[in-house]
A and B are shown apart, each in its own frame.
Chain A
Amino acid sequence: MPAVSKGDGMRGLAVFISDIRNCKSKEAEIKRINKELANIRSKFKGDKALDGYSKKKYVCKLLFIFLLGHDIDFGHMEAVNLLSSNKYTEKQIGYLFISVLVNSNSELIRLINNAIKNDLASRNPTFMCLALHCIANVGSREMGEAFAADIPRILVAGDSMDSVKQSAALCLLRLYKASPDLVPMGEWTARVVHLLNDQHMGVVTAAVSLITCLCKKNPDDFKTCISLAVSRLSRIVSSASTDLQDYTYYFVPAPWLSVKLLRLLQCYPPPEDAAVKGRLVECLETVLNKAQEPPKSKKVQHSNAKNAILFETISLIIHYDSEPNLLVRACNQLGQFLQHRETNLRYLALESMCTLASSEFSHEAVKTHIDTVINALKTERDVSVRQRAADLLYAMCDRSNAKQIVSEMLRYLETADYAIREEIVLKVAILAEKYAVDYSWYVDTILNLIRIAGDYVSEEVWYRVLQIVTNRDDVQGYAAKTVFEALQAPACHENMVKVGGYILGEFGNLIAGDPRSSPPVQFSLLHSKFHLCSVATRALLLSTYIKFINLFPETKATIQGVLRAGSQLRNADVELQQRAVEYLTLSSVASTDVLATVLEEMPPFPERESSILAKLKRKKGPGAGSALDDGRRDPSSNDVNGGVEPTPSTVSTPSPSADLLGLRAAPPPAAPPATSGAGNLLVDVFSDGPAAQPGLGPTPEEAFLSELEPPAPESPMALLADPAPAADPGPEDIGPPIPEADELLNKFVCKNNGVLFENQLLQIGVKSEFRQNLGRMYLFYGNKTSVQFQNFSPTVVHPGDLQTQLAVQTKRVAAQVDGGAQVQQVLNIECLRDFLTPPLLSVRFRYGGAPQSLTLKLPVTINKFFQPTEMAAQDFFQRWKQLSLPQQEAQKIFKANHPMDAEVTKAKLLGFGSALLDNVDPNPENFVGAGIIQTKALQVGCLLRLEPNAQAQMYRLTLRTSKEPVSRHLCELLAQQF
C-alpha cells in the first residue's frame, strides 16, 4: 500500500483545514470560510483554465465547507464540466461533487444526464461505474426517464464486468424505489434472479438487495429466488464452496451476504418444495450448531460476524413459526445471550425473544427465562435494555404469571426512567385487565398505578377503569371502598381524585352503610381535595355532588351551600360557573323523582377494544413518514409530553366545534342526565374520537413548542449590524398625525410594501420585511417637484410607552433632496414586547423657503411580528380551550366593508401573518388561523377564527391569545380589513 501523505500533497487544502481548526470562534470560522468561498469562486470564474489538480483541490475544499454545514451554491457547473473530462481523476471528482451536492431537482440534471449517457456508452468499466454510482446517488425522476430502460440491460448483459453489475443492481434499485412505473418488468427479471448464482460474491451481495425489494413488491413473480437463495446460503454456511474468494471475514464465510440472504427469505413463507425446505432447515441448524462450537478466533470481530448471522437466522425461524424444534433451540440460544457480558447481545436477545414469545411453539420456552428477564429489568444499566426487558415481560405474560409480572412492573415503575414510564403504565393497565381473574385485583392494580405514577396515567387508563367498574357490578362495592380508602391519603394524585369522584358519585351508596364512610364523610373527603384540583377535575366533582344530592338527600343542604358559594356561582371559568348554576337550579327545582331519573346510574358501556390498547399500538406503530425528512420527534418522547400536559379539559368544556359562544353548548358530558342524547355524549367522551383525546396529538405539537423557543441570538446581530444613533426629538416637537394617518396605516396591516403617503410635493413609499421579532423597513422619499428640498429630516418618534416596547433605529438621510430625486432611509426595528400604538414618522423640510411638516403613523403594527404556525385540528382545539378565560378572548361582529370574497379574505389573513388552517373548522366557510407574536421579551400565541355570514353581509371575528391587550388589539386591527 502506498504511503499516503497528508492531504495528498494538496498544500492549499491542508492550510485551509488547519485554519478552520484554529478558528477560535464561530464568527472567525465563518469569516475564513467566506474568504475561501470568494477565492474559489474567483478561481472558477477566472479566464485561466484550471488544471486537474487545482480543480480537485477546490472541490475538496467545497466538500469540506459543505460538511461544516454551509450550503454551496456554486461550482456545480464546473463539476458538470469535469464529468466530460477524459481523465479518470477529474471525472471522479466531478461525480463526487455531484453525488454529494446536487439534489434530485437540480436544473443541471439534463447536463449531467448527457455526461452519464456518454460514460455508460464508453464501455470503460471504471467510467460506467462512476456514472452508475451517480444515478444511484441522485436518482431523480428525470434520470429514471433517461436510463431506466438501459440499466436492466447492463445488469444482465453477459459481458458486463462484475463491478459494473454491482453498481447497476443498486442503481436499478434506486430507480425502482423512486419511480417504479419507469422500470419495465421484462425478460430481464428472470435473469436478475439468476444473479444469485453469479460466481462473484460482490455481484450476489448487490443483487440480493435489488431482489429483496422486487420480491416485496411482486412476491409471485420472483418466487424462483427462494430455491436459488437457499442453495447459495447452503453453500456459504457449509463452507463447501470454493467461490468464497476473499469474502471470509475473521473465519466467518461471507457474513453480510448470509445476513442478506436470510433477510430475502423472510419475504416468503417456508419453501413448499420439500427438498428445498430440507436443505434450508439443515442450514439453519448448522448456524445454530456453530454457535455452540468453540470460536475459531478470539477476535471480537469473529463473534460479531457469527452473531449477526445467528440473529438473522433466528429472525427467519421466528418468521416461519412452523418448526417447533428450531424455535425452542432459538429460544435457548437467546437465553444464553441474556446472560452474556456484552450489552449488545443482551439487548438483541431481549428484542428477538419478544417476537419469539408470541409463537405458540416457543411461548412456554420463553417463559422459563422470566427470572433472568426480571433481573434484567432491575439491574441493567442501559435504559434501552431495560425497556426491551419490559417489552419482553409484557409479551411473555399470560394468566399463569400475570400477577408476578404485574407486581414486578409496578415495582420497577417506582424507579423507572421518565422516558418509559407512560408505556409501562399502559402495559400494566392492559395486562391487569386482560388477565384479571378477580376484578378487585384489577382495581387495586390501577389504583396502585395512579399512586405510583399518577402523572403518567393517561386518561385512557382511568377512563377504562371507570368503564370496567360500571360494567361489572361484582366489583362496584369493592371499588367504592378502595377509592374511598385511597382518597384518605393526605396527598393523592389528581387522577385519583377523578376516579374517586366518579366512582363515589355512582356507587358511593354501596359503602354508605358503614359509619366510617357515611355520605357526609364521603362528601367532605372529596370536597377537601376540590380546591387543589384543576378546572376539569373540579367540574367532574361538581357532577359528583349533584349525584350525591340524588343518592343521599341528607347531603342536599350542604351541597347546595357549596354550589351557591360565590366562588362557584361567579367562577371565572365558564364551565364551572355553568355547572354550579345549573346543578343548583336542578337540585332546587326538580322533584326527587325527576332528579332520580336524570341522575340515574350510568348504563353499561358497550364492549369495545380497550382504548389503552389502541394507545399502546399508536405508541408502538412506526411514525408516519420518516423522521429524517420532517424532523419530527420520536413517538416515545412525544408521549411523555402527552403524559405531563395539563389535564385536558374536554371532559368539561363544550365541544369546540360547537358554537364557540358556548351558550348553546352541549350539556357537560360528565354530568349524567338520563336523556338518551346525553347518554351518548358520555360514551363519546370515552371513545377514541379525536375531540375526546387532546394531549395525544401527534407531532405538530412539538413543532409548535419549538416555534415558541426564543429566536437564535445571532439573528439580531445580523440584522442590526450597523445601528445609527436615532435622532429622536421629543414627541412635543412634532405635530399630531395627519387626519388620514389611521386610514393609511390600515392599508398596511395586511401588506408590507406600497405607497404610504402622497401629496403634490412628496411621495413616501414603504418596503419592509419582518422576521421573528425583527424587522427592516425601507422608506423611499420622492421629491415630486423640480425644486430641491432643504433641511430634509425624517424622524421616528415613540409616543408614550412605546419606547420600551419597540426599538427603531434610523439612519440619517441627506439633508437635501434634489428635484425629481428619491432618497432612501433604512429603519431597523426590534419588537421588545407587545405594543398597541404604532410609532410616528415625522417628516420636515423646507420647500422654496417655506417649512413643511408632516406626521404619519409608521406602518408597524403588532401583527408584523406574527409567525404563522401550522397545527392539526385537535391541537388547535386544545389550545383554543386552554385560552378560555374571558379576558383572553376578543370578539367583534361587524358589517362587511368590502365584497365578501373567500380568496381575498384568505390573502388578507395570510398577509396579516397567521397561518391558515384547513380542515379545522367544521364549517368550510369559516377561516381559522394560528400564529405566534414574537417579541424580545415574550411570545404570544394567537388563535383566530373568522366566520363570514354572506347573507347578512356580516363577519364574526374571534381572537384568543394569552395576553388580553393583544387579543383586543389584533381583533381591532383585523376587523378593519374586511
Chain B
Amino acid sequence: MIKFFLMVNKQGQTRLSKYYEHVEINKRTLLETEVIRSCLSRSNEQCSFIEFKDFKLIYRQYAALFIVVGVNDTENEMAIYGFIHNFVEVLDEYFSRVSELDIMFNLNKVHIILDEMVLNGCIVETNRARILAPLLILDKMSES
C-alpha cells in the first residue's frame, strides 16, 4: 500500500503532499524534512529505493523536484517507480510541459489528478485519458 505521495523540491519545500494514513500535521513536516534529506543525500549511482524506518521510499527526480512515494512491503518497487513516471506524464500532458510553478499554482488540479490515479493508497487508474476526464469536465464548466 502507498503510505504517502510527496512532491518536494531541492530546497526542501513541499509542493504536494498526500497521506493515505493519518499523520499529525507537526509530524508531517518532520517526516517530509527527513524524507527529502535522505533523497538529497543520494548520488546517481545509488538505487531509487531507500529503506526508511519500517517502510520504503521510492523516489525519482525531475529537474529540481523530487517525487517520493512511501510504500510498505506489499508494493512492487519497480511498478511504483514506473507509476511515478506515468503520473508525471499525465501532468505533462495536461499542463503541456509541466513545471514546478504549474504544480504550485494549480494545486487543486494536481490533487484531482492524483486522486484519480491513487485512491486509498492503491493504484486505481493508469489510463491517461480517463485520468484527465474529470478535470476536462471541470475546465469546460469554468469556461462556460
Chain A residues proximal to chain B, CB less than 8 Å: 1-4, 6-8, 10, 13-14, 17, 56, 59-60, 63-64, 66-71, 87-89, 92-93, 96, 99-100, 103-104, 126, 129, 133, 136-137, 139, 163, 166-167, 169-171, 173-174, 201-202, 205-206, 209, 245-247, 249, 254-257, 259-260, 263, 301, 304-305, 307-308, 311-312, 315, 343-344, 346-348, 381-382, 384-385, 622-623, 626-629, 631-636
Known A308-B82, A631-B30; judge A137-B53 contact (CB<8 A).
no
Tell me if B25 and A71 are in contact (CB < 8 A). Answer: yes
B46 A381 Cβ-Cβ under 8 A: yes
Min CB–CB distance A890 → chain B (angstroms): 37
Q: Is the CB of A634 within 8 A of B52?
A: yes
Which residue of chain A is the closest to B32 with respect to CB atoms?
A69
Would A69 and B138 count as touching, CB distance under 8 A?
no
- 11 cross-chain CB contacts under 8 A: A4-B94, A4-B95, A87-B141, A100-B18, A166-B124, A171-B120, A173-B120, A174-B120, A202-B126, A256-B123, A308-B82
Knowing A63-B108, A64-B104, A628-B23, the reply to whether A173 touches B96 (Cβ < 8 A) is: no
B65 at the interface (CB under 8 A from A): no
Q: A87-B141, A129-B134, A205-B126 are in contact. Are A249 and B82 (CB under 8 A)?
A: yes
Q: If A89-B142, A308-B78 touch, does A381 touch B43 (CB 8 Å cutoff)?
A: yes
Q: A249, B126: Cβ atoms under 8 Å?
A: yes
- A627 to B34, alpha carbons, bound, how many Å? 13
B residues 1-51 near A (Cβ < 8 Å) are 3-4, 13-18, 21-23, 25-32, 42-43, 45-51
Are B141 and A89 in contact, CB atoms less than 8 angstroms apart? yes
Q: How far is the CB of A91 from chain B (nearest CB, A)?
A: 10
Q: For window 96-138 of chain B, which residues contact chain A by CB distance below 8 Å?
A: 96, 101-102, 104-109, 111-112, 115, 119-120, 122-130, 133-134, 137-138
Measured between alpha carbons, how far is A103 from B25 in the docked complex, in Å? 11
Beyond known contacts A126-B134, A136-B120, A633-B53: 11 more, CB 8 A cutoff? A4-B96, A6-B105, A8-B106, A10-B105, A59-B108, A166-B125, A247-B126, A256-B83, A304-B78, A344-B47, A384-B50
Which residues of B, 62-100, contact A by the 8 Å Cβ criterion? Answer: 70, 73-74, 76-79, 81-83, 85-86, 93-96
A1 partner, pick from B46, B78, B94, B104, beta carbons under 8 A: B94
* Contact residue among B108, B126, B139 (Cβ-Cβ distance under 8 Å from A256): B126
Residues of B within 8 A of A92 (CB): 108, 112, 138
Known: A4-B106, A623-B53. A301 touches B82 (CB 8 A): yes
Contact between B104 and A382, CB atoms less than 8 A apart: no
Contacts of B122 in A (CB 8 A): 170, 173, 206, 209
User: Could you list which residues of chain B lie within 8 angstroms of chain A, going by C-beta atoms?
Assistant: 3-4, 13-18, 21-23, 25-32, 42-43, 45-55, 70, 73-74, 76-79, 81-83, 85-86, 93-96, 101-102, 104-109, 111-112, 115, 119-120, 122-130, 133-134, 137-139, 141-142
B58 → A minimal CB distance (Å):
9
Q: Which residue of B lies closest to A53 (CB)?
A: B142
CA distance A136 to B122 in the complex (A): 11
Closest to A174 in B: B120
A622–B55 Cα gap in the complex (Å)? 9
**Which residues does chain A contribute within 8 Å of B26, judged by CB atoms?**
69
Is the Cβ of A627 less than 8 Å from the Cβ of B54?
Answer: yes
- Name which residue of chain B comes closest to A177, CB basis: B120
Contact of A2 among B46, B105, B139 (CB under 8 A): B139
Q: What distance in Å separates the Cβ of B140 from its nearest Cβ neighbour in chain A? A: 9
Contacting pair B22 A136 (CB below 8 A): no
A292 to chain B minimum Cβ distance, whole angstroms, is 18
Alpha-carbon gap, A404 to B132, bound state (A) = 57
Report A-chain residues with C-beta under 8 Å of the C-beta of B15: 67
The answer for the CA separation of A642 and B108 in the assembled complex, in Å, is 45
Q: Check A307/B125 contact, CB under 8 A, given A89-B141, A96-B112.
A: no
A622 with B54, Cβ < 8 A, contacts A3-B96, A136-B120 known: yes
How many whole Å from A601's CB to the nearest CB in chain B? 45
**Distance, CA A259 to CA B123, complexed state (A):** 11
Cα A312 to Cα B48 in complex, Å, equals 18
Q: A348-B78, A382-B46 are in contact. Are A133 and B22 (CB under 8 A)?
A: no
**Chain B residues within 8 Å of A255, by CB:** 79, 82
Closest residue of chain B to A622 (Cβ to Cβ) is B54
Q: Which of B47, B101, B130 has the most CB of A within 10 A?
A: B47
Contact B138 A89 (CB under 8 A): yes
Are A14 and B108 interface neighbours, CB within 8 A? no
Residues of B within 8 A of A67 (CB): 14-17, 107
**A817: shortest Cβ distance to chain B, in Å?**
42
Alpha-carbon distance between A691 and B127 when the two chains are bound, in angstroms = 57
Residues A347 and B47 in contact in the complex (CB < 8 Å), given A4-B95, A628-B3: yes
Interface centre among B74, B76, B102, by most A CB within 10 Å?
A: B76
Quick one: which of B74, B112, B127 contacts A263, CB cutoff 8 A? B74
Q: Contacts of B126 on A, CB cut-off 8 Å? A: 202, 205, 247, 249, 254, 256-257
A387 and B108 alpha carbons, distance in the complex (Å): 41
Which 10 A-B residue pairs are closest in the complex by CB-CB distance? Answer: A627-B53, A308-B78, A623-B54, A7-B105, A209-B122, A69-B29, A382-B46, A308-B79, A170-B119, A347-B47
Are B22 and A170 touching (Cβ within 8 A)?
Answer: no
**Residues A263 and B76 in contact, CB atoms below 8 Å apart:** yes
Q: Which of B46, B51, B93, B95 has the most CB of A within 10 A?
A: B46
Given known A-B contacts A67-B14, A206-B119, A249-B86, A632 and B53 have beta carbons under 8 A apart: yes
A203 CB → nearest B CB, Å: 10
User: What's the minimum C-beta distance from A383 to chain B, rounded to whole angstroms?
Assistant: 8
Q: Which chain B residue has the least Cβ–Cβ distance from A216?
A: B74
Across the two chains, which residue of chain B brings its CB closest to A172?
A: B120
Closest Cβ–Cβ distance, residue B71 to chain A (whole Å) = 11
Partner of B79, one of A1, A259, A301: A259
Bound Cα distance from A139 to B79, whole angstroms: 26
Contact: A93 with B94, CB < 8 Å? no
Partner of A209, one of B93, B108, B124: B124
> Per a CB cutoff under 8 Å, which of B21, B73, B102, B115 touches A628?
B21
A382 touches B45 (CB 8 A): yes
**Across the interface, do B124 and A170 meet the contact criterion of CB distance under 8 Å?**
yes
Contact of B49 with A384 in the complex, beta carbons under 8 Å: yes
